[in-house]
Structure 1
C-alpha cells in the first residue's frame, strides 16, 4: 500500500506524471511560450492522446505552470549552477540592465569552465531603482555572498561598456577591483564593433543609414505605395523582397538592410525616379542620382561584412577571452590590408572608374579611408592596453596541444595569484597532458571523434530507465546546449568541411579524471574571461513571461 493509495495512483505513476509536467514546462520556458499558451497546449494534448493515462491526468493551468517554473525548475537549475561555481577556482560575472517602469531589471550571469567545457548560468535576477555604481556593486556583491561564493574566485566583471560599469574613477569594476586586485575588466566586443562603425559613419559623404530608414518608412506607411512597387517587380519579373528596417541601437544591423536594398536596388531606384518630383524625398532623390550615394552603399556592404563576422564570432556561446585575440587581430589585419591596398570592393572600384571628375573620386576615397581608420582606432582604443593579456591566454584556443610551449604557459601564470600555483607541479602537469594528447590524437578514430564521443557521454550518462522529475531535470540541465545560440553554432559547424573541435571541449576531455590541479586552475581562469555580453542581453526577451524578480536594496 502506497502513501497515495487514496488517489488511486501508484508512486511510480505519480513520478512519471510529475516528470512529464516538469519536462513540458521546461520546454515551454526554453522556447519562450507564455503560461497561457502552455495551458492551452496541455488541453490539446488531452484531446489528442485520450488513451494515455499521463496525458489524461496532467493538470498544468497557468498558475501551476508558473509555480513549476519558478519554484521547482528555477531553484534546481540555480542550485546546479551554484554547486558548479563552488567547485571551480575561477568564474566571471556579467550583467546587463533594462528599464521597466521606473526600475532597472538586472540579470547576474556567471561564466565558468565546467567538466564538459564552457558554461553560463543565471545566478539571480534582481530589481533596483537606480543604476548607480554603488547600488550595482552592492547588489552583485550581495548575490555572491548570499550564495556563499568567494570573491577570490572572481576573475572578471563583464558588462556593456557603460561608464557606470567600467569607468576609470568610480565604477562597478573599480569598486570590485579594490576588493579583488588583478581583476580583469570584461568589455563587450560586440558593442565595440557596433560603435566603431557608428563612429566611422561620420566620415561617409552620404548618410546611408538615413536613406535606408527613409526608404523603409516610405513603404511601411502606405499599402498603395507597396502596390505600386509590386507592379515594378512584376514588370521586370523579379520576386518582390521586403525592405528591412534598420535598428539604430544595433548599428551593424544596417548590413542586412543594405544587402536587401542592393538586391532590389534597380527596382527601388526606378520607382523613386519615376514618381512625381515633389513626392520623392529630397534625400532619396540625391541618393539615387548622385555618385556618392551608390558608391557609399556598396562600400559599406563590402566593409561591414568583415566587422559583422567578428561581431558574430564574439557572440557565440562558447567564445571566451581565449578566442578574442585571434578574432580582433584578424579583423584589424583585414582592415589594415584594405588601407594598404586602397581597396574598397570591386563594385566600388568599378563605380569610381566611371566618375569623370578626379576631385570627386579623391573625396570618396578619402572618406572611405577615414571610415576604416576610425573603425581601427576605435577598436584599438579598447584593445591596446589588454592585448598582451589576451594574447597570453589565447594559447588555450590552440587545438594542436603539441605546439604549445612551456614558456607560454609560464607567462600566462603572471596574470593570476601565483600563490595558488605550484610552478614545478604545473610544469609536470602540462607535460603530462601534452604527452597524453600526443599519444591519443591519432587513435580511436582521431581526436575529433574522441571529443565528440566524450560530449555525447555527457548526455547519455544522465539518462535512467526509471524516469523521475529529478532525472528529467538533470538531463535538461546537462543538455543545456540545446539553446538557440548553440543550434546556430551546430549549423555553423556543419557548413565547414573540416572537423571543428571546440577548444574548451578539447581541454575538458584532456583534463577529465586527471589529477592536474594547477593546470586546471590556469585553464579555469582563462576560459572564465568573457568576450562579450552576448549571453546577458537576450535574457530580457526570455524573461518576458517567466521569472521572479527579487528586489535587493
Structure 2
C-alpha cells in the first residue's frame, strides 16, 4: 500500500476517563499532551493514550520524584478530599454547563475550550477550579444523566393521568429514518402537556414498523393502556386513506393490538395545505411552480439580481428579495406570493426585456391574467395562513381544531356562493379580454368548489367530537345535562365508564360557579380554562368531569409538535456535527424539547437539590452505555 493510501493513525487525547484513572495527571498544553504534577513536566500521549501514561509512571524519574514528594508531605495534602457540599456544587455546575451546551445548540467539542476558560476566568473559585468537563464528559452527562432524569420527570407527571395520545412522523437524516414518539395528556393544574417520549431510527417506514416502535416506546414506560388516540399526517400508511379503510395501516394495527377503539386524527394543517393545493390546481396557471421557479432563477445569480435591482430603481419600486417556498412548509407560500406582487412590475419588465430567460416565466408575464391569478391566490392564502397558524399552536385541543376547520369551511362556502373576488382582482380583470374574463371566472368557481369538497371530506372524522361541544364554555352559558348524556354514551363506546349520577351533581355545582365569573375568566385557551376551573373548585369535587377532560384533552389534535422536534434536530444534527449518532441525538432532543421552557439558571436551581442526579454526574455510571 502506498503512503498516499495509508489510513491515518488514530490520535489519542486526554479524555475524562483518563483523568479519573490518573488523578495526578492534568491537562497539557494541547489535547494530546498531559502534565504530570509529580514530575512537573509535559509529555505526549498522542499514540497510545493511557498506555503512555502508565509507561511514564513506571519510569525511574517519576518513581524518584514520587518518593521525594512523599517524604516532604503527605500525598493526601496534594489532593484534598472535597466536602460533599463542594462536590455537589461542582457536579451541578458541570451538569448545568452540559445543559447550557444543549440548550443553545453548541457542539460538545466547544466544552474543551469552555471548561478551561471557566477555570481561567474564575481562578479564585474552588468550584470553577475543580470543573473538569470537556467534550467526552459533557456528552456522557447529557446522554447518561440528564436525559434519563428528564424521562423520570415525565413519568412522575403521568402517575395520576388516566389517558394520553401518541403521535409520530418520519424524517430522513441521510440513510437514517428518525421517528420521534410524542405524547399528550391533560394536567389539571397546567392544562395540555406535550412531551417527547422517545426518538427511534428504523430501516423503513411501513405500517408494521411504525406500529412496533410506538408499541415499544409505550410498553417501555408502562403507558400502553393509557393510550386513547393516534395522530399523524394523512398518508395511507397511517390511516388507510380518506375513508379510513381497515387494513394494513398504523391506526388499525394499534386498535387491534390494544383491543380497543382508539381515536385516529389526521394532521389538520396538512389537510388545509392539501386543500389549497387541490383548489389552485384548477387554475390555468400553476402559481406554486411559478413562485419556486422565480426564486430559483435569482437566488444564487448576482448578475440577474443586480439587473432586477436596476429595473426596480428605474421604475421607482423598492427592491425586495424574493422569498423561498418549500412544498413541505405550509406557511411559506403566502409571504412568497406577497413578495412577488410587490415586485411584479420590475419582474415583468425583466422577463419581457431580457433574452434567454426560461420560456415558462416569460409566458407567465406575457399572460394578462398572471397578476390576476396571483392576487386571487394571495386572497385565498390569507384565509389559510391565519387558520394554519392557529392550528399549529402547541396546546390546541381537538375541539379547538374542529372549530378552526369549521370556520374555514364557513368562509369558503360564503365565498363560493358569492363567487367572491377581491376588489383588486375585479379591477385587473376588467382590463382583460372578454374571453380571458370567462376563463378566470370558470377557474374561480371550480377552485372554491374543490376546496369546499376536499375540506368536507377530510373533516368527517372530527364530527364525532361534536358531543363534547359543551366543554367550550362561554360567559352566561349553562351546561345542559342532555348534552353531556351524549358524551357519556360516546365514552362508554370507547370502554370508559362515567358515573352519570355523580356527574349530574358536579354539573349543578359547576353551573353555579360559572354564573359568578367575569368575561375575562373565559378569555383563555380552552384547556387553560378547564385547568383554572379545577384549580379553583378542586378536583375532589369534579372527579367525573376531570375524567372527561383528561380524555378529550389527551387527543393530540395536530402534528406540528413533531415538526418542532424535527426543527430542533436540524439545528443540533447539522453538517458540522455529523459525528453525532442516534443515541446522542435522542438524548439531545429529549432534553431540548422536554425542558424547552427551562432557562439555564432555572435548571441549575432545580438540579442542585437533586442529590441522586448529582451523584451520577460525579460517578462513572454516566459512561455506562446500558444506563
Pairwise TM-score range, normalised by the shorter structure: 0.7 to 0.9
Gaps in structure 2 of 5+ consecutive residues = 1-76, 574-579, 587-624
The 5 A counterparts of 1:81-120 are: 81-114=154-187, 115-120=189-194
Local SS of the residue matching 1:181: coil
Residue 28 (structure 1) shift: 3.7
Q: Which residue of 2 aligns with 1:371?
A: 447
Quick one: distance in 2 between partners of 1:5 and 1:280? 77
2:529 is aligned with 1:506: yes
Contact between 2:323 and 2:335, CA under 8 Å: does it hold in 1? yes
Q: Which residue of 1 aligns with 2:561?
A: 535
2:289 is aligned with 1:254: no
Q: Which residue of 2 aligns with 1:319?
A: 396
TM-score for both structures, normalised by structure 2: 0.72
Contact between 1:155 and 1:184, CA under 8 Å: does it hold in 2? yes
Contact between 2:265 and 2:461, CA under 8 Å: does it hold in 1? no
2:549 is aligned with 1:523: yes
Contact between 2:369 and 2:429, CA under 8 Å: does it hold in 1? no
Residue 24 (structure 1) shift: 3.8
Question: What is the RMSD of the two structures over their aligned residues, measured on CA atoms?
Answer: 2.7
Residue 110 (structure 1) shift: 0.4
Contact between 1:321 and 1:393, CA under 8 Å: does it hold in 2? no
2:432 is aligned with 1:407: no
2:374 is aligned with 1:302: no
Quick one: distance in 2 between partners of 1:535 and 1:251? 14
Q: Which residue of 1 aligns with 2:216?
A: 142
Residue 158 (structure 1) shift: 0.7
- In structure 2, the CA distance between the partners of 1:39 and 1:386, relative to structure 1 (3 Å rule), is same
Q: Deviations over 1:95-136 (max 9, x none)?
A: 111234444221111001013111111111112212222222
Quick one: distance in 1 between partners of 2:285 and 2:446? 13
Rg larger for: 2
Q: Deviations over 1:270-303 (max 9, x none)?
A: 2222323xx2222222222212211111100011
Q: Deviations over 1:146-205 (max 9, x none)?
A: 211242x21101111211111122211001222343211111011111111122222111
- In structure 2, the CA distance between the partners of 1:201 and 1:419, relative to structure 1 (3 Å rule), is closer
2:405 is aligned with 1:332: no
- In structure 2, the CA distance between the partners of 1:363 and 1:34, relative to structure 1 (3 Å rule), is same
Q: How many residues align?
A: 489
Q: Which residue of 2 aligns with 1:476?
A: none
- In structure 2, the CA distance between the partners of 1:139 and 1:237, relative to structure 1 (3 Å rule), is same
Q: Deviations over 1:476-498 (max 9, x none)?
A: xxxxxxxxxxxxxxxxxxxxxxx
- In structure 2, the CA distance between the partners of 1:41 and 1:404, relative to structure 1 (3 Å rule), is farther
Contact between 2:402 and 2:462, CA under 8 Å: does it hold in 1? no
Quick one: distance in 2 between partners of 1:285 and 1:107? 44
Q: Deviations over 1:7-43 (max 9, x none)?
A: 5543333333333333343344334333234555555
Contact between 1:320 and 1:530, CA under 8 Å: does it hold in 2? yes
Contact between 1:426 and 1:519, CA under 8 Å: does it hold in 2? yes
Q: Which residue of 2 aligns with 1:429?
A: 506
TM-score for both structures, normalised by structure 1: 0.82
Gaps in structure 1 of 5+ consecutive residues = 449-498
- In structure 2, the CA distance between the partners of 1:54 and 1:361, relative to structure 1 (3 Å rule), is farther
- In structure 2, the CA distance between the partners of 1:25 and 1:366, relative to structure 1 (3 Å rule), is farther
Q: 2:323 aligns with which of 200, 220, 244?
A: 244
Local SS of the residue matching 1:227: helix
